[in-house]
Amino acid sequence: MSRQSDIIVIGAGPVGLAFARYFKGTDLQITVLDKAPLSSIESPAYDGREIALTHHSKEILQNLGAWQRIDESDIYPLKDAKVFNGGFDYGLHFKVPKDLKIMSSTDRLGNLISNHNIRQALYDEVKTLPNVELMTDVGIKHIDTDDQSAKVHLTDGETLHAKLIIGADSRMSFVRKALGIGAQMNDFGRTVIVFRVRHPLSNEATAQECFFYGRTLALLPLHDHLTNCVITLDNTQAAKLLALSPDALANEAQRMMGDKLGACSIAGTVHHYPLTGVHANTFIAKRAALIGDAAVGMHPVTAHGYNLGLSSVDTLGRLIIDAHLDDKDIASPTLLHKYNLNHQAHTRPLYHGTNTLVSLFTNDARPMRIVRDAALRISNNLPPVKRWITGQLTGK
Ligand SMILES: Cc1cc2nc3c(=O)[nH]c(=O)nc-3n(C[C@H](O)[C@H](O)[C@H](O)COP(=O)(O)OP(=O)(O)OC[C@H]3O[C@@H](n4cnc5c(N)ncnc54)[C@H](O)[C@@H]3O)c2cc1C
């Protein structure tokens, strides 16, 4: 059996679905494949991730009709951000720059939205589109591409034909490997543990990133008295923390945050993720391209992963629509090279910059503690540096 579409998207995560939704109103036929069952895509479960979105990402999600589908009470404003080194004595403080406040009445650095709510909104958009077909529970045997066409061979014997294949299947991407694209991988040997805590004192809508010695704590403000804790630590320590009872984990979080928010209790489930950074050597192959984490899987400390995923959707989606309107090949080498150049120029500095920051702020040797402290003080006292970092956080 075989069927034909224009684009096959492999992966129905928040990036693959956003990409499929990009073609609403066009006559391009899109097939989205995922190995997961339909139930986990049509009603995604809470997974502990609160995604910090830049203003640019908000615009993209608005254009995709997804932002409007998210209940306002599930969109948490990020007013300020503070970064600490070693303890809470001295902090680097980011606020919305005054000129931005006045010129565009921006009142926040960005917004936080739970990952499952983003996925839900995108799925609800995509399921209404007549030109998008979603196939779930799918196994892929191999992928073939040549100058004329692309094929995906499924384990059930079916072959899908298209002009273009998109890999949106996460950082350990099968598609990337199948296309023979190498990647730079960085196993940080660490685990990130995420959970929500309830607390009596207000978090003042301020995100806090505390680089302690041996572990890192990020506090992401949701409601006034509800905060997402993100603890990053080496794998052996992580196993011990994960073995704690909810009360003991809440006490540990409260101790780490220096009682800043008062007596904490765990709200909801606890989740953990291995920390591996990945940057594909190229984002394209013959009649194929990588987007989202399949192209670049970021360390979450700088909160860029999904923001970069959305920019990959926007960059490649726009090029494809323009080519299609001009009756040109939507998978021509020229188009794909343009995508690769544009997106790599965006991702490479952020990927390497984030990894440098991680290696600096997880190096606890005494001289490095001094360098870490100096880095915070210099950034705090040099307005252009601070403005540049704020620009990276806000996307403005
Ligand atoms: C703790 C944590 C906090 C984060 N915080 C932020 C943040 O604040 N800001 C931010 O911008 N980003 C953040 N991120 C990153 C963000 O979650 C990712 O960038 C984003 O989820 C990537 O989406 P994706 O669709 O590319 O991949 P995924 O969400 O991984 O989805 C991939 C999809 O592909 C499917 N798939 C996989 N393999 C196959 C296959 N072989 N065949 C078919 N289907 C397949 C999977 O089932 C899945 O549905 C965070 C990540 C973590 C872990």
Q: What is the CATH number of the domain that holds 322?
A: 3.50.50.60
Cα(75) to ligand 1 centroid in Å equals 19
Residues 6+ away with beta carbon under 8 Å from 169: 10, 11, 13, 16, 175, 294
Beta strand spans in 155-314 (E): 159-162, 164-167, 183-198, 206-211, 215-221, 226-234, 265-280, 284-285, 288-290, 296-297
Q: How far apart are CA 238 and CA 108, in angstroms?
A: 33
Task: Indicate the residue type of 244.
Answer: L
Cα(309) to ligand 1 centroid in Å equals 9
Q: How far apart are CA 357 and CA 277, in angstroms?
A: 13
Domain check: are 169 and 91 in the same one? no
Q: How far apart are CA 17 and CA 227, in angstroms?
A: 28
Predicted pLDDT at 312: 98
Query: In this prediction, what percent of the chain has a pLDDT beyond 70?
Result: 90
Beta strand spans in 25-170 (E): 30-33, 50-53, 76-78, 80-85, 91-94, 110-114, 132-135, 140-145, 150-154, 159-162, 164-167
Q: pLDDT tens digits, residue range 131-185?
A: 999 999 999 999 999 999 999 999 999 999 999 999 999 999 999 999 999 999 9
Check pLDDT > 70 for residue 285: yes
For ligand 1, atom 37: residue with the closest CA: 169
Domain check: are 213 and 353 in the same one? no
List Cβ<8 Å contacts ≥24 apart for 323-326. 324/26, 324/28
Domain check: are 7 and 35 in the same one? yes
What residues are in contact with ligand 1 under a 6 Å CB criterion?
A: 10-16, 33-36, 49, 51-52, 115, 140, 168-170, 174, 192, 194, 273, 292-293, 300, 303-307, 309
Domain check: are 132 and 203 in the same one? no
Q: What is the CATH number of the domain that holds 219?
A: 3.30.9.10
Cα(374) to ligand 1 centroid in Å equals 34
Predicted pLDDT at 102: 66
Domain check: are 270 and 282 in the same one? no
Check pLDDT > 70 for residue 11: yes
* CB 259, CB 200: distance < 8 Å: no
**395 vs 14, higher pLDDT:** 14
Q: Which atom of ligand 1 is nearest to the CA of 192?
A: 1
Q: How far apart are CA 91 and CA 350, in angstroms?
A: 22
Best CA proximity match to 395, nearest among 53, 51, 56, 52: 56
Predicted pLDDT at 108: 87
**367 vs 9, higher pLDDT:** 9
Residue for token digits 């726009």? 318
Cα(305) to ligand 1 centroid in Å equals 8
Its pTM stands at: 0.93
Task: List the beta bridge partners of residue 234.
Answer: 190
Domain check: are 240 and 251 in the same one? yes
Domain that holds residue 204: 78-111+188-275+364-394
* CB 77, CB 108: distance < 8 Å: yes
* CB 82, CB 208: distance < 8 Å: yes
Q: How far apart are CA 43 and CA 120, in angstroms?
A: 6
Total count of domains within the chain: 2
Predicted pLDDT at 384: 64
Domain check: are 229 and 374 in the same one? yes
Domain check: are 195 and 341 in the same one? no
For ligand 1, atom 11: residue with the closest CA: 306
Residues 86-113 as b/e (b if ≥16 CB within 10 A, e otherwise) read eeeeebbebbbbeebeeeeebebbbbbb
Check pLDDT > 80 for residue 383: no
Q: pLDDT tens digits, residue range 188-228?
A: 889 999 999 999 999 999 999 888 777 889 999 999 999 99
Of 156, 227, 306, 346, the one to substitute when testing ligand 1's pocket (max ligand atoms within 8 A of C-beta) is 306
Q: pLDDT tens digits, residue range 14-72?
A: 999 999 999 999 999 999 999 999 999 999 999 999 999 999 999 999 999 999 999 99
Cα(16) to ligand 1 centroid in Å equals 10
For ligand 1, atom 42: residue with the closest CA: 35
Least confident of 17-31, 81-95, 332-346: 81-95
Of 115, 142, 155, 232, the one to substitute when testing ligand 1's pocket (max ligand atoms within 8 A of C-beta) is 115
Domain check: are 215 and 193 in the same one? yes
Q: What rounded mean pLDDT belongs to the chain? A: 91
For ligand 1, atom 4: residue with the closest CA: 300
* CB 55, CB 200: distance < 8 Å: no
Domain check: are 120 and 244 in the same one? no
**The tokens of 390 are what?**
């704020």
Q: Which atom of ligand 1 is nearest to the CA of 292?
A: 26
* CB 364, CB 25: distance < 8 Å: no
Cα(291) to ligand 1 centroid in Å equals 11
Domain check: are 323 and 223 in the same one? no
Alpha-carbon dihedral 314, 345, 113, 197, rounded to 10 degrees: 160
Residue 370 pLDDT grade (very low, low, confident, very high; cuts 50, 70, 90):
confident
Domain check: are 146 and 65 in the same one? yes
